[in-house]
């Protein structure tokens, strides 16, 4: 029985009934937690859908549209929900088309790529990288934004300009219209059917096209508006750019924000990656000079791929970050910078481009002679400055405020004066913290400021400011109010102002031709309410300093193992914010949310913290979960944790005995039988196919007389769990380590009380911080002693434990390494290695990723094997320490798609964490073990 705040309106009940039997209930959500969480996007608007549906194929989308049509209910489509203008939200039916829509087909020698709408932009590029190609659109959100949203927003970024966006690089598209009609532009039969069945739509569009082509003023207006980036209104350029009506329709879909139909696949022309690149951050005496420099570059546009403007406030916002030139702090208040990138097919061409840029810059009052960097590691630092500007405002803002990013474009000749006048508006409305940066080469600039929406006065200030901005950009300079983020609800009231009544009439007519009943994403692009942009504003209630800086951008979602199962990090934070808001206003509905959050938010968070690696404001939602667990633990569990902590050695011993007994039963029942027992007995661990044997943890050290020493700490998990019964090598890991160290001529030193030591991870992950820290302190003291006060290196055989130990090491000088780094530093150089021909698959654990060891792991694996597979989009495995034994669904969801990516000839996988290996073996259907086993075999 779903827990609903209140009954659904009757039509929604009818809709649900119609849909039952078509879409399983497990993908239809009406409860207050999921509707709120899934309904949130990155904009500062909040609408909570009545129903959320995760649709996984075209038939389902068509059925949803048909049922909604009968009940006359609005439908909004959703990809990654990173939109900023309020176009991916709904208070009616939200259809998420992400899971199940992730197919990628690289076609015709990578000249083309066919993508489903749930493919993340960066995944498409990963599939093309090997061919030296990429997709054209390059929004800054490309690591999370999905193709459906990239196409429907006509998103673009630093390099793609107006020539490589979705509009310009579209080859083919498959669309589902409101009445279920499908048009596949790559299929002549589909086109023929469409032209016959939708002859009225075609006719209406042809009349409109003729009208525009006959009206010189309107025609020229459209031409001029698309000389710069523009995503305000529909892509009216489609009416004048194409002769073929099918091309007109497919290009009208670009940037239509889900208001004209559903894009079920897209085929792009791919674009070339430059073979060599170099970047320079050029400083100018003031922003006017910087803009004029960019204008001149524009007239020599083949010289640079990108020219990113950053005002003084932007530079100031990142001046304290690691790797930023300390001289930036001393720059004059008026200084502005332009970050340029040159790209070429060879070094000579690159050199000549760089020289030309330097010559042009010198005409424009540069602060110092520009320096170009052509080494990836060097120019990445410059781009980190640019990418850090927006998040830095988010991170510095006051709790409870929203960070707003606006997105306008001037014609290049107006850029300098337009930007200066914008800065005056910041002063007029007291947005002292506002900063300006952006893709100046296209006249496109973003300005970022913080806004409080909790009082009427503040909302008024925003409203008046935006009125002035629109008058300046669209009224005075005929620029674009939305250059790349889409119109949404935010600019819908200003579309007519920007376009004029003649063109606005076209926009309304287009909507009417495709969606006469206004069923698809109403309120977006076309909206008669002049105040729509200041309605349904989000509140950002402060609830916990760990996550109060969250800007709800959604960048953390792709890496989260629970994303397709329960909640993502962003959604966890959104729900916590709402619980706090309800509590603050004495609204008892928070209790329902809290009870639902227990499983969806708390229990199914793997606390791996991988989300922090993708978060622009460094939020670790795992830390938030641990905090929530700590606060919610009852007296009994606290007492139990304290007892276990004090008697950890005995606890591990008992656990091993218990596990030995279970191994014994499995001998008769098999894994399936064990799972049946688990279905009957509560708290019985989920039994995986590759469940390990109990480890003997026998130390076979012979007397060793080598010159060098290594301290070896075997984690409690490795002391308890040995190899699986299906493993090729059945030794315990400590025997493998001993063998390796002996071959590399190191004496092995075990810490004194090794059998009772623990780094504290099992306690910390459950919120028992005190016990976790006590365990860590004991361990560190013993490692310090065993390593002769830090003289000898320490090998820990598990990455998650090493990560935690290293966190504690801030207090102490000991060198603790996990298997990857230890192997590369201390073993590989000492061993004679024979590379194996065996094909293998790798899994890099979250902890290794957080320690930035991905590349090193790949290098190590390639030393050992000639054929290494690293599956894409498999991030955290979701086993989460021991949680995988109680919540196997999380592990299953996180590893969806793993097996399919492993080649048939691969029989073994390698990683660096025992519990992760249990789940990986089960879902990958091959035995996974520590990479140390392979190293021992090859040496």
Ligand X SMILES: Cc1cc2nc3c(=O)[nH]c(=O)nc-3n(C[C@H](O)[C@H](O)[C@H](O)COP(=O)(O)OP(=O)(O)OC[C@H]3O[C@@H](n4cnc5c(N)ncnc54)[C@H](O)[C@@H]3O)c2cc1C
Q: Where does this chain touch ligand X (CB under 6 A) — which range of 135-143, 311-319, 452-460, 795-803?
A: 135-143
Cα distances (Å, whole numbers) of residue 260 to 265, 514, 692: 15, 6, 54
Q: Where does this chain touch ligand X (CB under 6 A) — which range of 32-40, 151-159, 526-534, 816-824?
A: 151-159
Which of 489, 570, 908, 926: binder of ligand SF4 (CB under 6 A)? Answer: 570
Q: Where does this chain touch ligand SF4 (CB under 6 A) — which range of 240-248, 372-380, 617-625, 804-812?
A: 617-625
Cβ-based nearer residue to ligand SF4, 28 or 540: 540
The CB-of-140 to ligand SF4 minimum distance in angstroms stands at: 13
Give the closest residue to 377 by CA, choosing from 892, 855, 884: 855
Cβ-based nearer residue to ligand X, 76 or 450: 76
Q: What is the rounded (10 degree) CA torsion for 102, 107, 111, 116? A: -20
Look up residue 539 and give its DSSP letter: P
Q: Where does this chain touch ligand X (CB under 6 A) — which range of 9-17, 144-152, 575-583, 640-648?
A: 144-152
Rounded to whole angstroms, the Cα distance separating 622 from 700 reads: 39
Residue 15 sits in the site that holds ligand SF4 (CB under 6 A): no
Q: Which tokens is 375 given?
A: 């080494």
Residue 262 sits in the site that holds ligand X (CB under 6 A): yes
Q: Which tokens is 891 given?
A: 């592990």
Q: Which does 84 bind (CB under 5 to 8 A by kind): ligand X, ligand SF4, none?
A: ligand X
Residue 562 sits in the site that holds ligand SF4 (CB under 6 A): yes
Cβ-based nearer residue to ligand X, 394 or 760: 394
Which of 112, 198, 485, 719: binder of ligand X (CB under 6 A)? Answer: 485
Spatial CB neighbours of 46, under 8 Å, sequence gap ≥ 6: 39, 40, 89, 536, 537, 538, 539
Give the closest residue to 393 by CA, choosing from 425, 363, 426: 426
Which of 81, 554, 800, 909: binder of ligand SF4 (CB under 6 A)? Answer: 554
Rounded to whole angstroms, the Cα distance separating 278 from 770 reads: 50
The CB-of-143 to ligand SF4 minimum distance in angstroms stands at: 10
Contacting ligand X within 375-394 (CB under 6 A): 390
Rounded to whole angstroms, the Cα distance separating 238 from 410 reads: 21
The CB-of-575 to ligand SF4 minimum distance in angstroms stands at: 12
Instruction: Judge contact between 430 and 468, C-beta under 8 A.
Output: no
The CB-of-542 to ligand X minimum distance in angstroms stands at: 21
Residue 152 sits in the site that holds ligand X (CB under 6 A): yes
Which of 140, 354, 556, 846: binder of ligand X (CB under 6 A)? Answer: 140
Return the residue matching tokens 């030296």.
132
The CB-of-678 to ligand X minimum distance in angstroms stands at: 38
Cβ-based nearer residue to ligand X, 438 or 819: 438
Q: Which does 150 bind (CB under 5 to 8 A by kind): ligand SF4, ligand X, none?
A: ligand X
Radius of gyration of the chain (CA): 29
Give the closest residue to 281 by CA, choosing from 386, 185, 155: 386
Q: Which does 82 bind (CB under 5 to 8 A by kind): ligand SF4, ligand X, none?
A: ligand X
Q: Which does 148 bind (CB under 5 to 8 A by kind): ligand SF4, ligand X, none?
A: ligand X
Contacting ligand SF4 within 532-551 (CB under 6 A): 550-551
The CB-of-454 to ligand X minimum distance in angstroms stands at: 22
Cβ-based nearer residue to ligand X, 150 or 222: 150
Residue 815 sits in the site that holds ligand X (CB under 6 A): no
Which of 278, 335, 412, 560: binder of ligand SF4 (CB under 6 A)? Answer: 560
Instruction: Judge contact between 347 and 314, C-beta under 8 A.
Output: no
Give the closest residue to 185 by CA, choosing from 233, 147, 242, 231: 242
The CB-of-563 to ligand SF4 minimum distance in angstroms stands at: 7
Q: Please name the helix (run of DSSP H) or strand (run of DSSP E) that holds residue 68, with its range, or none.
A: helix 58-71
The CB-of-148 to ligand X minimum distance in angstroms stands at: 3
- Give the pairing of strands 908-911 and 836-842: parallel
Residue 617 sits in the site that holds ligand SF4 (CB under 6 A): yes
Cβ-based nearer residue to ligand SF4, 609 or 919: 609
Cα distances (Å, whole numbers) of residue 848 to 32, 610, 796: 37, 10, 13
Exposed, middle or buried by CB within 10 Å (0-12, 13-18, 19+), for 69? middle
Cβ-based nearer residue to ligand X, 146 or 865: 146
Residue 519 sits in the site that holds ligand X (CB under 6 A): no
Look up residue 270 and give its DSSP letter: P
- Tell me how many degrees the CA angle 731-648-659 measures, rounded to the nearest 5: 45
Return the residue matching tokens 């020698």.
109
Q: Which tokens is 279 given?
A: 């970047």
How many residues bind ligand SF4, per CB under 6 A?
A: 30
Rounded to whole angstroms, the Cα distance separating 495 from 524 reads: 11
Which of 309, 619, 740, 842: binder of ligand SF4 (CB under 6 A)? Answer: 619
Exposed, middle or buried by CB within 10 Å (0-12, 13-18, 19+), for 544? middle
Q: Which does 929 bind (CB under 5 to 8 A by kind): ligand X, ligand SF4, none?
A: none
Nearest-CB residue for ligand SF4:
622
Q: Which tokens is 219 given?
A: 């025609």
The CB-of-450 to ligand SF4 minimum distance in angstroms stands at: 14
Which of 74, 117, 255, 569: binder of ligand X (CB under 6 A)? Answer: 117
Return the residue matching tokens 């692009």.
525
Instruction: Judge contact between 154 and 232, C-beta under 8 A.
Output: no
Cβ-based nearer residue to ligand X, 341 or 797: 341
Cβ-based nearer residue to ligand SF4, 611 or 868: 611
User: Could you give phi then psi for residue 259, rounded to 5 degrees?
Assistant: -100, -5
Half-sphere exposure of 113 (CA within 13 A, CB side): 29
Q: Which does 38 bind (CB under 5 to 8 A by kind): ligand SF4, ligand X, none?
A: none
The CB-of-343 to ligand X minimum distance in angstroms stands at: 19
Helix (H, G, I), strand (E, B) or coil at 536: coil
Instruction: Judge contact between 649 and 755, C-beta under 8 A.
Output: yes
Cβ-based nearer residue to ligand SF4, 257 or 552: 552
Which of 149, 255, 522, 888: binder of ligand X (CB under 6 A)? Answer: 149
Rounded to whole angstroms, the Cα distance separating 302 from 330 reads: 34
The CB-of-72 to ligand X minimum distance in angstroms stands at: 19
Residue 893 sits in the site that holds ligand SF4 (CB under 6 A): no
How many residues bind ligand X, per CB under 6 A?
A: 38
Residue 405 sits in the site that holds ligand SF4 (CB under 6 A): no
Rounded to whole angstroms, the Cα distance separating 624 from 598 reads: 13
The CB-of-642 to ligand X minimum distance in angstroms stands at: 43
Q: How far apart are the first and last CA of the chain?
A: 59
Nearest-CB residue for ligand X:
149
Q: Which tokens is 795 given?
A: 């090998």
Contacting ligand X within 25-84 (CB under 6 A): 41-42, 76-84
Which of 35, 123, 141, 799: binder of ligand X (CB under 6 A)? Answer: 141
Residue 881 sits in the site that holds ligand SF4 (CB under 6 A): no
Rounded to whole angstroms, the Cα distance separating 648 from 628 reads: 25
User: Could you give phi then psi for residue 391, rounded to 5 degrees?
Assistant: -60, -35
- Which parts of this chain interact with ligand X (CB under 6 A)? 41-42, 76-84, 87-88, 97, 117, 139-141, 145-146, 148-150, 152-153, 155-157, 257-258, 262-263, 390, 484-486, 521, 553
- Which parts of this chain interact with ligand SF4 (CB under 6 A)? 550-556, 559-562, 569-570, 572-573, 605-611, 614-615, 617, 619, 621-622, 625, 876
């Amino acid at each position: 029985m779903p827990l609903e705040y209140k009954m659904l309106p009757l039509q929604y009940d009818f809709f649900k009934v119609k849909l039952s039997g078509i879409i399983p209930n497990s993908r239809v959500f009406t409860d207050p937690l999921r509707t709120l969480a899934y309904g949130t996007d990155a904009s500062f608007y909040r609408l909570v859908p009545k129903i959320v549906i995760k649709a996984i194929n075209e038939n389902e989308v068509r059925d949803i549209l048909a049922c909604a049509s009968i009940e006359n209910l609005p439908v909004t489509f959703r990809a990654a929900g990173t939109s900023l203008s309020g176009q991916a939200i709904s208070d009616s039916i939200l259809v998420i088309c992400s899971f199940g829509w992730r197919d990628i087909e690289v076609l015709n020698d990578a000249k083309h790529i066919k993508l489903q709408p749930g493919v993340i932009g960066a995944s498409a590029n990963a599939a093309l990288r090997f061919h030296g190609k990429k997709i054209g659109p390059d929004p800054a959100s490309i690591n999370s934004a999905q193709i459906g949203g990239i196409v429907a927003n006509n998103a673009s970024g630093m390099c793609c300009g107006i020539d490589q966006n979705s509009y310009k690089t579209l080859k083919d598209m498959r669309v589902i219209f409101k009445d279920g009609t499908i048009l596949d532009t790559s299929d002549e039969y589909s086109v023929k059917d469409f032209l016959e069945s939708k002859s009225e739509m075609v006719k209406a569009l042809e009349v409109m096209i003729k009208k525009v082509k006959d009206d010189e003023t309107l025609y020229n207006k459209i031409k001029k508006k698309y000389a710069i980036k523009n995503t305000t209104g529909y892509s009216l350029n489609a009416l004048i750019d194409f002769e073929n009506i099918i091309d007109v329709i497919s290009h009208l879909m670009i940037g239509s924000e889900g208001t004209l139909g559903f894009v079920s696949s897209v085929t792009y022309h791919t674009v070339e990656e430059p073979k060599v690149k170099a970047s320079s951050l050029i400083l100018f005496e003031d922003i006017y000079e910087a803009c004029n420099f960019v204008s001149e570059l524009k007239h020599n546009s083949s010289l640079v791929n990108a020219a990113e403007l950053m005002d003084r406030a932007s530079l100031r916002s990142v001046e304290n970050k690691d790797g930023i030139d300390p001289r930036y702090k001393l720059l004059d208040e008026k200084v502005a910078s332009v970050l340029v990138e040159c790209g070429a097919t060879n070094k000579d061409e690159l050199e000549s481009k760089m020289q030309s840029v330097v010559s042009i810059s010198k005409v424009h009052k540069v602060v110092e002679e520009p320096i170009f960097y052509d080494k990836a590691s060097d120019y990445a630092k410059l781009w980190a400055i640019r990418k850090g500007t927006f998040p830095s405002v988010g991170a510095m803002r006051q709790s409870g405020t929203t960070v707003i990013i606006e997105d306008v474009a001037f014609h290049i000749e107006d850029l300098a004066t337009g930007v200066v006048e914008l800065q005056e508006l910041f002063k007029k409305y007291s947005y002292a913290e506002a900063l300006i940066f952006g893709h100046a080469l296209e006249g496109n600039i973003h300005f970022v400021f913080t806004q409080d929406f909790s009082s009427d006065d503040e909302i008024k200030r925003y409203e008046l400011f935006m009125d002035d901005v629109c008058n300046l950009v669209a009224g005075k300079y005929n620029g674009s109010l939305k250059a790349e983020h889409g119109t949404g609800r935010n600019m819908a009231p200003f579309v007519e102002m920007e376009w004029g009544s003649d063109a606005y009439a076209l926009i309304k007519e287009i909507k009417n031709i495709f969606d006469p009943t206004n069923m698809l994403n109403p309120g977006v692009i076309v909206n008669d309410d002049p105040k729509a942009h200041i309605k349904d504003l989000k509140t950002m209630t402060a609830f916990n300093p760990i996550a109060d800086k969250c800007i709800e951008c959604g960048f953390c979602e792709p890496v989260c193992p629970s994303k397709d199962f329960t909640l993502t990090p962003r959604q966890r934070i959104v729900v916590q914010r709402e619980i706090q808001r309800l509590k603050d206003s004495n609204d008892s509905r928070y209790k329902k949310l809290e009870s639902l959050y227990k499983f969806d938010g708390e229990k199914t968070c793997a606390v791996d913290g991988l989300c922090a690696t993708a978060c622009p404001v460094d939020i670790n939602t795992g830390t938030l979960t641990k905090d929530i667990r700590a606060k919610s633990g009852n007296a009994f569990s606290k007492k139990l944790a304290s007892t276990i902590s004090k008697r950890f050695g005995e606890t591990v011993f008992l656990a091993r005995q218990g596990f030995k007994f279970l191994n014994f039963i499995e001998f008769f029942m098999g894994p399936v039988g064990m799972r049946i027992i688990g279905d009957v007995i509560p708290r019985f661990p989920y039994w995986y196919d590759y469940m390990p044997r109990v480890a003997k943890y026998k130390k076979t050290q012979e007397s060793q007389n080598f010159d060098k020493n290594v301290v070896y700490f075997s984690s409690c998990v490795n002391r308890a769990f040995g190899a699986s019964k299906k493993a090729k090598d059945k030794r315990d890991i400590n025997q493998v380590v001993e063998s390796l160290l002996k071959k590399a001529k190191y004496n092995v030193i075990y810490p004194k009380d090794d059998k009772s030591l623990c780094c504290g991870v099992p306690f910390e992950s459950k919120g028992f911080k005190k016990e976790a820290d006590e365990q860590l302190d004991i361990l560190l003291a013993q490692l310090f002693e065993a390593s002769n006060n830090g003289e000898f290196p320490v090998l820990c055989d598990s990455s998650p434990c090493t990560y935690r130990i290293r966190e504690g090491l801030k207090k102490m000088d000991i060198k603790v390494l996990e298997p990857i780094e230890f192997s590369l530093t201390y073993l590989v150089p000492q061993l004679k290695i024979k590379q194996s021909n065996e094909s293998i698959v790798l899994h890099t654990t979250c902890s290794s990723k957080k320690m930035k060891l991905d590349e090193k792991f790949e290098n190590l694996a390639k030393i050992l094997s000639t054929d290494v597979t690293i599956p894409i989009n498999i991030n955290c495995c979701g086993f989460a320490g021991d949680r995988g034994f109680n919540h196997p669904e999380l592990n299953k969801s996180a590893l969806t798609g793993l097996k399919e990516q492993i080649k048939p000839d691969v029989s073994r996988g390698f990683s660096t964490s025992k519990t992760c290996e249990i789940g990986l073996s089960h879902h990958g259907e091959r035995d996974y073990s520590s990479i140390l086993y392979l190293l021992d075999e090859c040496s």
